[in-house]
Chain A
């Protein structure tokens, strides 16, 4: 069997260092624990899910990982075009530059990730301009292409996001994040707040884009079905701590911790 397998193997072996290397991340709010002592590594093309009930520290952790919040302790190393940089040990302008170059963030509420007073095409094209692209025609072509990829009619390129439905806004946000081809993407409940049929469409889209672009992703969700569909590995959080982690199907089908057993047995399937 040499169906291009060898090529694939080589590209896998070439990925000899992680995209994200997290150690001891802790975020305290006064006495209260946001998240405590979280450690993991994420490799190119891997998708990590973080599950747990509301208040378990999932979003706090994600904010620390993505540079939106400063951890109380710990270190986040991420791959900035071949060099590992310490995200929380940079000057503010440096950190912003790294965040722009190396990572993408999909917010639960598209309003937090989109500029609502800028056209759909502008929302996507702006990221390319941030990156240094200057050719207007090329930017517009690229934006059009991305609208098509996320299944938004390119005829609506000049419409404002507020004229879009919730599902379309979320897809537009995904286009805005992925257009600059980040190798690492953080998603906070990307399908939250959408009705089930729209969710399915979005999940399928995310799943194929993540694979096609070989993106490493961290996805926070409270929906175990979403985790099963999109992620390779899973971390379960409770009261700010990671209580169980492993292969997604193993954690869901043979949970070891009492809380994970409770979580998986509560799902209707």
Chain B
């Protein structure tokens, strides 16, 4: 199997220094791996640590223990111990995080937001614009909105702009944090097909999906996060 992600005995606890130094253990002993063309769904109730795990994988949260290795270009990089500069390089080329929320940048148009990952990865701007337009159209964002900054868009429109930005340049490893939450049936269908296309093109996907139907269609395997949950009273 062509593994792209290897997680070994990962643990995470939060220490709240300003609330009496209380320590909240969340996860312990998390181990699994994901191969190219696989889609792993993280299964478990709210509060079990699914989002925490996804953020650990992206390097957004700091691991308390363990290793998270991502196959980057031609070598394994441990996100936990790597230099920030190397983590940034992994994120630029190999690892992406798809959330349901768009981080709005003042004054930047929807089209520019969507094309940015392509430009960052070296594509000529007009080519990138064309691809961005196709992607926005596919996600049913009306053309009259493309040149506007999404700050004033509806929640659903912002979410779809974010998905367009995330899927315009598919990376070898993709982390999906409920990308279909609160989308209507038509757009959910589009996102499911984007996920399938990414997987079939050889990406390794790890995701959280609350909708059972989406979960069935978007994943090839599931793990129960509760087996790794560390909590005194969950």
Binds A, one of B2-10, B37-45, B53-61, B182-190: B53-61
B234 within 8 Å of A by Cβ? Answer: no
Tell which of A204, A246, A258 touches B17, judged by Cβ atoms closer than 8 Å. A258
B106 adjacent to chain A (CB < 8 Å): yes
- Do residues A204 and B84 form an inter-chain contact, with CB atoms below 8 A? no
Task: Evaluate contact between B105 and A207: CB separation under 8 angstroms.
Answer: yes
A82: Cβ under 8 A from any B Cβ? no
Closest to A2 in B: B122
Cβ-defined contact, B108 with A204, below 8 A = yes
Query: Known: A246-B62, A254-B60. Is A8-B122 also a contact (CB below 8 A)?
Result: yes
Q: A43-B85, A246-B62, A250-B62 are in contact. Are A204 and B105 (CB under 8 A)?
A: yes
Q: Is the CB of B61 within 8 A of A254?
A: yes
Nearest 5 CB-CB pairings of A with B: A258-B17, A200-B106, A8-B122, A4-B122, A254-B61
CB distance from A153 to the nearest CB of B (A): 18
A residues at B contact (CB < 8 Å): 1, 3-5, 7-9, 12, 43, 46, 200-201, 203-204, 207, 211, 229, 232-233, 246-247, 249-250, 253-254, 256-258, 261-262, 265
- Which residues of chain B are near A249, meaning CB under 8 Å? 60
What would 24 A/B residue contacts be, using CB atoms closer than 8 Å?
Answer: A3-B122, A3-B127, A9-B93, A12-B89, A46-B88, A200-B107, A201-B107, A203-B106, A204-B107, A204-B108, A207-B105, A232-B88, A233-B85, A246-B62, A247-B60, A247-B84, A247-B87, A250-B59, A250-B62, A253-B60, A253-B61, A254-B60, A261-B16, A261-B17
Q: Does B124 contact A (CB under 8 A)?
A: yes
Q: Is B110's CB within 8 Å of the partner chain A?
A: no
| A262 touching B62, Cβ below 8 Å | no
B84 near A4: Cβ-Cβ < 8 Å: no
Contacts A3-B123, A254-B14 aside, 20 further interface pairs with beta carbons under 8 A come to A3-B121, A3-B127, A4-B122, A5-B122, A8-B121, A8-B122, A9-B73, A46-B88, A200-B106, A204-B106, A233-B85, A247-B84, A250-B61, A253-B55, A253-B61, A254-B60, A254-B61, A258-B17, A262-B18, A265-B18
A5 / chain B contacts, CB cutoff of 8 Å: 93, 121-122
Whole-angstrom distance between the alpha carbons of A233 and B61 in the complex? 14
Q: Which of B70-94 contact A (CB under 8 A)?
A: 73, 84-85, 87-89, 93
For chain A, what secondary structure do more than half of its interface residues adopt (helix, strand, loop), or is it mixed?
A: helix
In the complex, are the beta carbons of B106 and A201 less than 8 A apart?
yes
Report the minimum CB–CB distance from B93 to chain A (whole Å).
Answer: 7
Give Cα distance in the complex from A262 to B59, angstroms.
21
Bound-complex Cα distance A2 to B105 (A):
28
- From B17, B62, B108, A254 is in contact (CB under 8 Å) with B62
